[in-house]
Structure 1
Amino acid sequence: MLLDNHGRKISYLRLAVTDKCNLRCFYCMPEQGLDWLSRKKLMSYNEMLRMCRVMLSMGIEKIRITGGEPFVRKDMMQLLTAISGLDGLKELTITTNGVLTAPYIADLKKIGIRSINLSLDTLDAGRFFAITRRDEFSAVLDTLQELLKQDFDMKINTVVMAGKNTQDIIPLVELTKELPVSVRFIEEMPFNGDGHQHSGIAWDYVRIFDEIRQAYPSIQKIPDPQFSTAYNYQIPGHQGSIGIIAAYSRTFCGTCNRVRVTPNGMLKNCLYDDGVLNIKDLMRLGMSDAELTSTLKRAFSTREKDGWQAEQKRLENPASESMATIGG
């Protein structure tokens, strides 16, 4: 078992394979996009595989592939197939915006992927365009339908934003009546990619829950899975469930079991830290697997107690980078 300096188990790696995205969600990046990483600065697939193999040998059990948008990167199925065959891996999952995903769904199922998170902030085509700055709503709905048809464990991730999509909270909740999906409402975070410091949120997890409870007074708390970042609920008679993630309030840090690696190989012990070491650079300098293992163990032994403490330590570089550069 891999433990950090606070006695928390580390068993979950979120690996961002690219910073590029085919949407331009205003809460994630500017309309013109970002200064994308060059191919040389990105981790190669072989480097990702090696890093995953080392981390699995240390105690990582679950890997989630994120971006940017994973399927923007060429030959993504090749990487996913290789990772799915690594020793020690218990679960491989993906977070996607769904625009390019539909053609790969059968292949994803074939290599053993059973759970997919779909980012969808609204059920209204006009608001979708306003949020994402792209006309891809129908493609995302096609992916949603195909995932349900193929019996994937489906989570819909919705960032709740004042003045943008709060009117979508109840319609999204209503999806759970007939569909076996988990709709998860996420507090807006400061990772907007425009350099402006976040000043707090109007819609925190308490207000989101109150909004749902007003429409559905019978909503019930259900058990949260181990290491869950969401408070989970269900409405009697509904097939699906509801989750509320206090991503800005950071109420779940005490049981955090995850680490992140960015597209350029930076290890982040916390979403809110500034990065603790660059794994890609260490591998390119010729570090052996044994040396890499020791270095990672030292890095894992310096995790901050929570996201607030991690953010405090980066006061000269406030959290404002794009989520696409971190891994959604």
Structure 2
Amino acid sequence: MLLDNHGRRISYLRLAVTDKCNLRCFYCMPEEGLEWLSRAELMTYEEMLRACELLVKMGIDKIRITGGEPFVRKDIMQLLTALSKLTGLKELSITTNGVLTAQHVPALKAIGVRSVNLSLDTLDAGRFFAITRRDEFAAVMQTLDELLKHDIEVKINTVVMAGRNTQDIIPLVQLTKELPVSVRFIEEMPFNGDGHDYSGVLWDYVRIFDEIRNVYPDIQKAPDPLYATASNYHVPGHKGGIGIIAAYSRTFCGTCNRVRITPQGTLKNCLYDDGVLNIKDLMRDGKSNTTIVGALYTAFNHREKDGWVAEQKRKDNPDFHESMATIGG
């Protein structure tokens, strides 16, 4: 079992394979996009696989592939197939915006992907365009249909934003009545790549829950899996479930079991830190697996207590505005 300096188990890696995305969600990046990383700055698939092999041997048993948008990167199925064969890996999952995903669903099912997180902030095509700046709503809904048809567990991730999509909270809850999906409402975070002003969360987890309870007063608390970031709920008679993630309030740090690797190979012990180790650089400097594993253990033994401390200790301006696309979801 891999433990950090606070006695928390580390068992979950979020691996970002690219910073590029085919949407331009205003809360993630400016309309013109970002200054994308060059190919040389990105980890190669071989480097990603090597890093994952080492981490799985250390105790990681779940890997989630993120971006950017994973399916923007060429030949992504080759990496996913290789990862699915790692001895000791119990779960391989993906977070996607769904624009390019539908065609890959049968292959995902075939390699054992059992769960996909689908980013979807609204069920209204017009608001989808306003939020993402792209006319791709139909493609995302096709992906949702394909995932359900192939019996892949779907978690819909919805960032709740004042003045943008709060009117979608109830329609998304209604979606769980007939569909076996989990809709997770996420507090907005400051990772917008300087795309817009951010002055703190206006719709926190308490307000989101109150909005739902006003319409569904019989909503019930559901069990939370070990290490869950979401507080889970269920409306009686609904096939699906509801989750609320206090991503900005950071109420779940005490049981955090996850670390991240960015597209350029930076290990992040916390979403809010500025990186603690560059794995890609160690590999390209010719370091042995033993040396890299030692560096990883050292990094894990210096995890901050929570996201607030990690944010305060950033080396750059603490009033930061990274894009989630460069962090890795």
Give the whole-Å Cα distance in 2 for the aligned partners of 1:196 and 1:30: 7
Q: What does residue 234 of structure 1 align with?
A: 234
Q: Secondary structure at the match of 1:224?
A: coil
Residue 243 of structure 1 aligns to a residue whose secondary structure is strand
| 1:195 positional shift | 7.2
Q: State TM-score, norm by structure 1.
A: 0.99
1:196 shift after superposition? 6.7
Secondary structure of the residue that 2:156 maps to in structure 1? strand
Residues 195 and 144 of structure 1: is their aligned pair in 2 closer, same or farther, counting only changes over 3 Å? Answer: closer
CA RMSD of aligned residues (A): 0.9
SS for the counterpart of 2:26 is coil
Supply the AA of the counterpart residue of 1:221: K
Instruction: Indicate the SS of the match to 1:83.
Output: helix
Relative distance call for 1:93 and 1:205 in structure 2 (3 A) is same
Q: Once structures 1 and 2 are overlaid, which stretch shifts more, 310-319 or 296-305?
A: 310-319
Which residue type is aligned with residue 163 of structure 2? Answer: G
Tell me, which stretches of 5 or more residues in structure 2 are unaligned? none
Question: 1:280-326: CA deviations, max 9, x gaps?
Answer: 00110011111111110000000000000000112632331000001
1:216 aligned residue: 216
CA contact (8 A) 1:191 1:320 kept: yes
Aligned to 2:323: 322
Instruction: Give the C-alpha shift of residue 156 in structure 1.
Output: 0.2
Query: Equivalent residues in 2 for 1:7-26 (5 A)?
Result: 7-26=7-26
The answer as to whether partners of 1:219 and 1:236 remain within 8 angstroms in 2 is yes
Report sequence identity in percent.
77
* Aligned pairs (5 A) from 1:147-186: 147-186=147-186
Match of residue 58 from structure 1 = 58
Where does residue 129 of structure 1 map in the other structure? Answer: 129
Is the contact made by 2:30 and 2:195 (CA closer than 8 Å) also made in structure 1?
Answer: no
How far is the alpha carbon of 1:199 from its aligned partner?
A: 2.0
CA contact (8 A) 1:28 1:324 kept: yes
TM-score (ref. length: structure 2): 0.98
Q: Is the contact made by 1:118 and 1:154 (CA closer than 8 Å) also made in structure 2? A: yes
Alpha-carbon distance in structure 2 between the residues aligned to 1:315 and 1:287? 26
Contact 2:96 2:117 (8 Å CA) reproduced: yes
2:282 match: secondary structure: helix
Give the distance between the partners of 2:87 and 2:42, measured in 1 at CA: 25
- Name the structure 1 match of 2:276: 276
Q: In the TM superposition, what is the alpha-carbon distance from 1:75 to its structure 2 partner? A: 0.1
Please say if residues 196 and 320 of structure 1, whose CA atoms lie closer than 8 Å, have aligned partners that are also in contact.
no
Q: Secondary structure, in 3 states, of the residue corresponding to 2:39? A: coil
More off after superposition, 256-265 vs 309-318: 309-318
Offset, 1:197: 6.9
The C-alpha deviation readout for 1:20-45, integer Å capped at 9, x for no partner, is 00000000000000000000000000
User: Is residue 176–residue 240 contact of structure 1 (8 Å, CA) maintained in 2?
Assistant: yes
How many residues end up aligned between the 2 structures? 328
The structural deviation recorded for 1:198 is 3.5
Matches within 5 A, 1:1-328: 1-194=1-194, 198-314=198-314, 316-318=316-318, 319-328=320-329
Aligned amino acid, residue 24 of structure 2: R
